[in-house]
Chain A
Amino acid sequence: MNGRAVRALIRKDVLVELRGREVVPSMAVFVGAAFVLFRFGLGGTELAGGTRAATGMLWVAIVFTALVGLSRAFAHEREGRTWDGLLAAPVDRALFWFARTCSTFLFLVAVQVLALPAFWLFFLQEQAGPSYPVLVAAVLLADVGIACLGSLLAGLASSVRAREVLLPALYLPFSIPLVLTAVRVTTDTIPPQTSGLETLERLGFLALYDTVFALLGWALFEYVVED
């Protein structure tokens, strides 16, 4: 694995984002709007469904926000036609996927650093919420899974004309097991809580999910990246 190439590719993604400011701000705006709407939708003073409903909605927001970000993945390569330059280089195609996964993960975390405190502010302040360590662990694990599969699918969809519609459609079935487990593991830590063993089992599932799609992303990216 060419560490220098990976670092350079991640650095490129981060620099392009810092200068262009396209992905992270749009994700932040989206998740903020989602929280506001959820808050009013669930009830102004008394939260319908309590913190359980809110936590469930958090995960929906995370997935859709990620899709907003992923729709811009590889956009520069496609618009600027820089793929040819990258593909001509003596670099394993899987490394392009790996670097994109890392930068997507970074962008997701950057948005969530703002979104999670906002979530607390909007929904949890007075009431008992989920266990924060578990929530953070679940969010990070989910981020890895979303980044791995999302980068592969974004690479696939980027060369298709209907990409704006196609990427969310392709991703949706895969988001279901992720959200199912993530919601379960986080809402179950809201008092009255379930056993720590079950929490571990569910976090373990998220790690398994990550592993499966990391392997598939690594193996399959070369088949989606060439013309």
Chain B
Amino acid sequence: MRSPEAILCESLARRFGERDALAGVDLSVAEGETVLITGPNGAGKTTLLRILATVLRPSSGRVAVAGRDLPAGAPDVRRSVGYAGHDALAYPDLTARENLELYAALYDVPDGRVDEELDRVGLDGRRGDRTAELSRGMLQRLALARIGLHRPSIVLLDEPTAGLDADGRDVLRGFLAEPGRTILAATHEPEWFAGLENRLVAMDAGRVTA
């Protein structure tokens, strides 16, 4: 079933054992919108993003990304979604370049884009360094390079401003300003995004409160 929104959640719930991480989330994000999700730790922001990234299955309720219902339509949706999680999602023993080459292969994009993205985020000088040696800010930039590789139309960011250095701030702004991209970002710093047109959604205890 197709829906015009980029992201649609209806009574989305997710349980881990006895705990309800998501207790019925209703959310709708239109194409090209930027939506910020705020809320205390444990509100379920990361769980929501992981479900939208098709990394986690919902326990109940409806969730559709790019017009496809999950989890059935997950394989078709993955190519359009970029997910930058809480952790760097990089292998510490591999170099920046090797990490990106792995993802270039997984997303089936030309290897040339790896260098392009490393340039774009300003890590071209560190491409041969193991990611264990990179600072937190550089790892954040590497994550942005990783999700840039396959030019996704929907981008999911979990605390993108945490640990960001000065160069990273510019890169992130540039990333967010790109037209046509749907962005959903969980953040503790919504003020940072002022200047970019956005909508605020508040979450608490597994539900959307505002």
Contact = CB atoms under 8 A, between A and B. Distances in A.
A and B in direct contact, judged by CB atoms within 8 A: yes
Interface of A: 2, 4-5, 7-9, 11-12, 15-16, 19-20, 76, 80-92, 226-227
A86 to B, nearest CB: 7
5 contacts: A80-B88, A80-B90, A81-B89, A88-B53, A226-B56
B175 interface: no
Contacts, number: 88
Interface residues of B, number: 32
Contacts of A20: 93
Interface of B: 16, 50, 53-57, 75, 78-79, 81, 83, 85-94, 98, 101-103, 105-108, 130, 146
B91 A4 contact: no
Nearest to B105: A8
B55 A88 contact: yes
Contacts of A87: 53-55
Contact of A2 (B81, B85, B91, B108): B108
Contacts of A81: 85-87, 89
A2 B130 CA distance: 27
A226 B57 contact: yes
A11 B107 CA distance: 16
Given A81-B85, A82-B91, A84-B83, 14 more contacts: A9-B102, A15-B94, A80-B89, A80-B92, A81-B89, A82-B90, A85-B89, A86-B106, A88-B55, A88-B78, A90-B107, A226-B57, A227-B16, A227-B50
A84 B93 CA distance: 18
Contacts of B79: 90
Contact of B103 (A15, A83, A89): A89
A25 to B, nearest CB: 15
Among A20, A85, A92, residue most surrounded by chain B Cβ atoms (within 10 Å): A85
